[in-house]
Amino acid sequence: MTIPEKIEKPHVAFLPSPGMGHITPLFEFAKRLVIHHGFHVSFFVITTGASAAQNELFRPENLPADFTAVEIPPVENISSFFTDDMKLLTQLCIMVRESLKHLPSLLMEKRPKALIIDLFCTDAFEICEKLSIPVYSFFTASTILMAFSLYLPTLDREVEGEFVDLPEPIQTPGCTPICPHDILDQVKDRKNDEYKWYLLNVSRLPLAAGIFVNSWDDLEPVSLKALRENLFFQKIPLPPVYTIGPLIKQDEVVTEKDAEILAWLDDQPPDSVLVVVFGSGGTLTSEQLSELAWGLEMSQQR
C-alpha cells in the first residue's frame, strides 16, 4: 500500500500598510484563511516602531499554526523624507514606498502563490509582475467609496477646480449621488500631495487579479451591482469583485463598559437601533456632533 504524499497547503502572503486600522482587517482575513480553509500565510509587517496593540497582535502565542508574521526591515532615516506640514496619508505612502524595496527578496524567499494587499500598497503590482505573482487587493472600506475611487481618475480628467465646489452631487456610475462636501477628506484639496497619492493608488486598482470587499450583497446591493454590471466599470475593465463579509474582529476583549452597552443593545426591540461608525480616525467638530445628535433625535432611532 502506497502512503499518499502530504498535500501541500496553499500559501499566500498579506501586505498591509502601517497602522492598526490597516493591519487589523487583513489580519482577520488571513486568520480565517488559515483556520477555516487550510491555508499557510506569510503576513508581511512594515516596521514603524509598533504600538503595544500591534506587538500584542503578533505575539507567537496569539497566532494560529501556519500563520507566520514577517517583519519588513525598517527604513533608515525615514524621517528625512518627511516635512513638518506633510499630512498623514502622504507620510504613510512614502513609508510604504521605501519599505517595499525589501519586498522582492522576501517574496523570493517565501515564494507565495499570491499576494493580498491593501489600498496603499499598490507599488507591489510592479514588483510582483516581475516575479509572476498575482496580486489581489482587499478594499476594506464601503463599496460606494470603492466605486467613487474607481471613478476618481475620470473626475480628475474631466473636472477643473475643486470637487467640493461642484454645484451638483457627484454621480458615480450606477450609484447613489454623493454631495461634494461628503467626499473623502483626502480628495477635497487637489493641490495637496495627499490627493495625488490617493489618486495614484486607486488608479492602480484595476491591475489586481481580483478585489476582495468586506461586504455582502444584501448590505450594499446598489454599489455592488454597479461594480459588477455597470458599463463604466466593465470598460475599465474591473477585475472580479469578491464579497467576503461580514468580517469582524473576533478576539476583542470585552470590558465592563462594553458588556453594559451590549446588554443595553440586547434589550432593544429588533431593527430599532442605528449604529454610526467613524472608523479608526474619525473625528467631528462640535458643530458636526450637534448636527449628528439632532439628526439621530429626529430619526426616532435609539
- What residues are labeled active site? 22, 118
C-alpha cell at 219: 448590505
SS3 169: coil
C-alpha cell at 71: 517583519
Spatial distance between the Cα atoms of 24 and 253, rounded to a whole number of angstroms: 15
Contact (CB, 8 A) for 141 and 202 = no
Measure the N-to-C terminal CA separation of the chain; round to a whole number of Å: 66
Q: Which DSSP letter does residue 75 get?
A: P
Spatial distance between the Cα atoms of 21 and 23, rounded to a whole number of angstroms: 6
CA distances from 38 to 24, 61, 69, 114, 116 (A): 20, 19, 17, 15, 17
C-alpha cell at 228: 459588477
Spatial distance between the Cα atoms of 170 and 177, rounded to a whole number of angstroms: 5
How many whole angstroms from its chain centre is CA 282? 15
